[in-house]
């Protein structure tokens, strides 16, 4: 119960931040980036699922600054041969997100972070994944699905049946 209350509180706060965030944007489309290490097996799974939906079972921290995300990706040496670097490029229509997201740099105290945080449970369409020969890293292109996306509606209907009364905030962490 406490976990569900905590998640609901975080979701409420992120929704409030989202309202302010949208008012500051001139365009309804933004692009954010995330550089990270990823298991090579996961790369192969993603490659075989291009065009499909991908659900994030954790909060997703991204940057509006491509160069910062890219530097993080390029400068991080994988601690294992099983890991590789990837730069995710995420397209977002901020007028119709399925889950809350917001620019939280003013909450962190590091104003140059340019951080946009996505609530856990966001669903993205994996548009493309490829190895960039010039940068020597993997790149993945994602689009945040909105509530009107037909594939997302199908996914959520199936998920609702599978959850069968479970608390959605706790159950989504398992998908």
> Can you give the pLDDT at residue 157?
82
> Can you give the pLDDT at residue 11?
72
pLDDT (tens digit per residue) in 24-74: 767 788 899 999 999 999 999 999 999 999 988 888 889 999 999 999 888
> Can you give the pLDDT at residue 174?
46
Q: How far apart are the first and last CA of the chain?
A: 19
- What is the mean pLDDT of the segment spanning 9-26? 71
Identify the CA nearest to 116 among candidates 108, 134, 104. 104
Q: Using alpha carbons only, how large is the chain's radius of gyration in Å? A: 17
Do 74 and 85 touch, CB atoms closer than 8 A?
yes
Lowest model confidence (mean pLDDT) among 34-43, 148-157, 159-168: 159-168
The H-assigned helical ranges of 62-138 are 66-75, 105-108
Beta bridge partner(s), residue 115: 63
Are β-strands 137-144 and 83-93 bridged in parallel, bridged antiparallel, or unpaired?
Answer: parallel
> Can you give the pLDDT at residue 113?
61
Phi, psi of 144 (to 5 degrees): -70, 125
> Can you give the pLDDT at residue 3?
57
What span, in angstroms and rounded, lies between the C-alpha atoms of 9 and 91? 26
Task: Enter the tokens of residue 93.
Answer: 């229509």
Lowest model confidence (mean pLDDT) among 45-54, 104-113, 150-159, 160-169: 104-113
> Can you give the pLDDT at residue 35?
94
pTM, two decimals, is 0.80
Per-range mean pLDDT, top range of 61-65, 113-117, 147-151, 155-159: 61-65
pLDDT (tens digit per residue) in 74-128: 887 888 899 999 999 999 988 876 777 777 766 655 556 688 888 888 889 999 9
């Amino acid at each position: 119960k406490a976990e569900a209350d905590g998640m609901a509180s975080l979701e409420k706060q992120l929704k409030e931040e989202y309202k302010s965030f949208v008012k500051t944007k001139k365009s309804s489309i933004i692009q954010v980036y995330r550089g990270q290490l990823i298991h090579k097996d996961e790369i192969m799974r993603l490659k075989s699922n291009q065009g499909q939906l991908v659900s994030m079972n954790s909060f997703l921290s991204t940057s509006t600054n491509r160069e910062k995300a890219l530097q993080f990706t390029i400068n991080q040496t994988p601690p294992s041969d099983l890991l590789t670097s990837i730069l995710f490029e995420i397209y977002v229509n901020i007028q119709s997100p399925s889950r809350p997201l917001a620019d939280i740099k003013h909450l962190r105290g590091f104003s140059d972070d340019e951080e946009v945080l996505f609530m856990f449970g966001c669903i993205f369409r994996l548009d493309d994944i490829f190895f960039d020969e010039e940068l020597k890293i993997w790149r993945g292109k994602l689009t945040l699905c909105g509530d009107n996306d037909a594939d997302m509606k199908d996914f959520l209907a199936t998920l609702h049946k599978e959850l069968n009364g479970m608390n959605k905030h706790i159950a989504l962490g398992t998908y």
